Amino acid sequence: MTGAPVIAPVLAGLAALLLFSHGAARRHGKIRDRFVLLLKDLPGVPADAAAEDAFMPAMLRARLHRAGIAVSPRGCAAAGFALLLLTVSAGRIAGPVAGLAAGALAVLAAWLVLNHRAAVRLRRLSDAMPGFLERLRQALGVGNSLAGALARAVETAPPVVADCFAPALRRIAHGGGVAESLERRAAELDLYELHLLATAARTHLRFGGSLTAILRGMTETIRRRASVERQLRADTTQTRASAWVLALLPLLVAALVMLSNRAYARWFLETGAGHRMIVFCVVFQLAGAWCMRRIARARY
């Protein structure tokens, strides 16, 4: 099997790396649990301070926060072993190039699903924020403090909003500052409305003034922004549809040609020049899709 001596050390190295990462994560978890037992009764220590996903890269951790997914070290190790098993199985069935391609496609598919789930969750949260800010303003108007008004507004909020503010409320309950907790949550989710709320809380605590008036103006601004975004999406529908057609048409044509002419398909799968052509096609297809996405996406 061509390329097997090359791929075998790579797969062995991946397996060793996964085993080492799993062992290190288990040791980190044991140490973390000891600190939780020592510090759980001390004031000023947030309950979720030790629950950070420090064993993952920052970019992946941010995506998981936005998608609302909590992953343990054991879950990461299981996913890594599943990816390794898929790569090895595809390599033994169709060759090393197909094995590596299957592993890369699995990672890409998981990343796309994660990004889609994060985008859907943030969109739902953004749609629910104007009503939440209005309830927060009403709670402040009857004499509650900012922390108390935040807790009361979360009690009657939709589940997506309650899940968003639960870590911030836990930090506040254990002695953390309101503005610091909101700023941290806004940095984790990178949501426009949360950044506005955190900035308003920081400004109110530093300079004073009427926070209810600020929240009223924020709510109106967010609603106007949502209206402009809906109009913008309606105006760019034709451009986005053209982008989808141009991105999917080469894939459809290639699939039809491969199915109708097997001899033509074997040249791509069995020769070195065919492998290079496949790589070039995939690279240029991804580059073209990225360019069309940049053109079709309008931001302000």
CB atoms within 10 A of CB 103: 20
| Integer Cα distance of 209 and 255 in angstroms | 64
Q: Roughly how many angstroms between the first and final C-alpha of the chain, as a whole number?
A: 53
Q: How much is the pLDDT for 40?
A: 44
Q: How much is the pLDDT for 6?
A: 44
Q: How much is the pLDDT for 143?
A: 82
pLDDT tens string, the chain, 300 residues long: the values are 444 444 555 555 555 555 555 555 555 455 545 544 444 444 444 444 444 455 566 677 777 777 777 777 777 777 778 878 877 787 777 777 777 777 778 888 888 888 888 888 888 888 888 888 888 888 888 888 888 888 888 888 888 888 888 888 888 888 888 888 888 888 888 888 888 888 888 888 888 778 888 888 888 888 888 788 778 777 777 777 887 787 788 888 888 887 787 777 778 777 888 888 888 888 888 888 788 777 766 665
| Integer Cα distance of 120 and 122 in angstroms | 6
List for the chain the helix, strand, coil content (%; round to 5): 85, 0, 15
Q: How much is the pLDDT for 57?
A: 66
* Residues in Cβ contact with 253 at an 8 Å cutoff, skipping those fewer than 6 apart: none
Q: How much is the pLDDT for 21?
A: 52
Q: How much is the pLDDT for 300?
A: 53
Q: How much is the pLDDT for 187?
A: 83
For the whole model, what pTM was predicted?
Answer: 0.62
Q: How much is the pLDDT for 298?
A: 61
| Integer Cα distance of 280 and 244 in angstroms | 21
| Integer Cα distance of 163 and 130 in angstroms | 16
